[in-house]
Amino acid sequence: MIEVREITKRFGRKEVLKGVSFTAEKGEITCLIGVNGVGKTTIMNAIMNLTPIQSGEILIDGQKINKRSYEKIMFIPDAITMLPQMTIQQAMQFMDDFYESWNEKRAKELLDFFKLEEGNKISNLSKGNTAKINLLLGLALDVDYLLMDEPFSGIDIFSREQIADVFTSHLVEDRGVIITTHEISDIEHLIDKAVILNDGTVVKSFYTEEMREKEGKSVIDVLREVHLQ
């Protein structure tokens, strides 16, 4: 389980996170929802220790993040995490070299699934294909937790469908996934838990099926309610 406890974060004088708390369980897909700029990416970066927090703590399976954590949790940010002049093959080789949890078989499988060629240079890929490679580099690791920042943004509809397929497949099963989005309508049927962020805090956090069962509301309904207040 990933626990985020009362984290605060300032950029200069601006307070972006004013005490954010939530949990993400293994085997569930948790979605951080909020408008652009609310701090979703910052939270992800904070979980991965890619940006410091002013207070609060973040625990991964009960422990603070350390170098070994990166074999258990992987972040797929909005930007490509490889050198643009590398070929896909070289990028995969790099991952293999440094990560014990790299699963070569699954990497090849994903390459097929996304219909990508090993020999292509990353700088020559389209935006959709770059996103897919980024995903591949994370999914091909046997990690317990995956964090994905806006995996669907700015991508053509066909690539989006391919990426959505990943969530319903064995590639993501049994893992704890946290994704962020500002556009929930396409994917609300895929997520287990919704964490709504507004003005630096968690406004509401709930299980989607529970919300449907108990109150007959979709995630979008809840979003509307939250913003009406």
Partner 1 sequence: MNITFNKRDPLYVQVIRYFKEQIATGAFEPGEEIPSRRELASKLKINPNTAQRAYKEMEEEGLIYTEGNNPSKVTKDIEKIASVRQEMIMEAVDAFVHAIRPINVSLDEVVGLIEAKLNEEQPEQEGRK
Partner 2 sequence: MINFLKLLRFELDRFFKLYVVLIVVTIVSQLAGLVIISKLYMRRAREEIVVNQNSMESFLETYGQFSLANLTHSLWFVGPIALCIVSLLIYVFFIWYRDWFGKNTFIYRLLMLPTERLNVYLAKAMTIFTMVLGLVSLQIVLIYLEMNLVRLLVPRDFRLDLPIQGVIHSFDYFYILIPNSFIGFLISYGTGLMALFVLFTAILIERSYRLKGVFIGGLYVTASFLVFISPLLLSEIFLPRFFYPTEMILLEVFAGLIVMAGAIWLGHYLLNKKIRV
221 binds partner 2 (CB under 8 A): no
Q: How far is the CB of 106 from partner 1 (least distance, A)?
A: 15
220 binds partner 2 (CB under 8 A): no
Among partner 2, partner 1, none, the one that 129 touches (CB under a kind-dependent 5 to 8 A) is none
Which residues contact partner 1 (rule: CB under 8 A)?
A: 27-29, 164-165, 167-170, 172-173, 188-192, 209, 212-213, 216-221
Which 86-115 positions form the footprint of partner 2 (CB under 8 A)?
A: 94, 97-100
Q: How far is the CB of 48 from partner 1 (least distance, A)?
A: 24
CB atoms within 10 A of CB 25: 14
Element containing residue 139 per DSSP (H, E): helix 127-139
Q: How far apart are CA 17 and CA 119, in angstroms?
A: 42
Pair 30, 21: CB distance under 8 Å: no
68 binds partner 2 (CB under 8 A): yes
Half-sphere exposure of 102 (CA within 13 A, CB side): 15
Q: β-strands 201-207, 193-198: how paired?
A: antiparallel
In this complex, which beta carbon is closest to partner 2, that of residue 82 or of residue 172? 82
Selection from 148, 141, 188 nearest residue 24 by Cα: 148
Among partner 1, partner 2, none, the one that 219 touches (CB under a kind-dependent 5 to 8 A) is partner 1
CA torsion, ordered 168, 223, 31, 205, to nearest 10 deg: -120
79 binds partner 2 (CB under 8 A): yes
Q: Which residue, chain included where needed, has tokens 């904070």?
A: 46
77 binds partner 2 (CB under 8 A): yes
Q: How far is the CB of 181 from partner 1 (least distance, A)?
A: 15
Q: How far is the CB of 26 from partner 1 (least distance, A)?
A: 12
Among partner 2, partner 1, none, the one that 109 touches (CB under a kind-dependent 5 to 8 A) is none
Share of the chain residues as helix, strand and coil, in percent rounded to the nearest 5? 35, 30, 35
Contacts with partner 2 by CB under 8 A lie at: 45, 48-52, 67-71, 74-75, 77, 79-84, 94, 97-100, 123
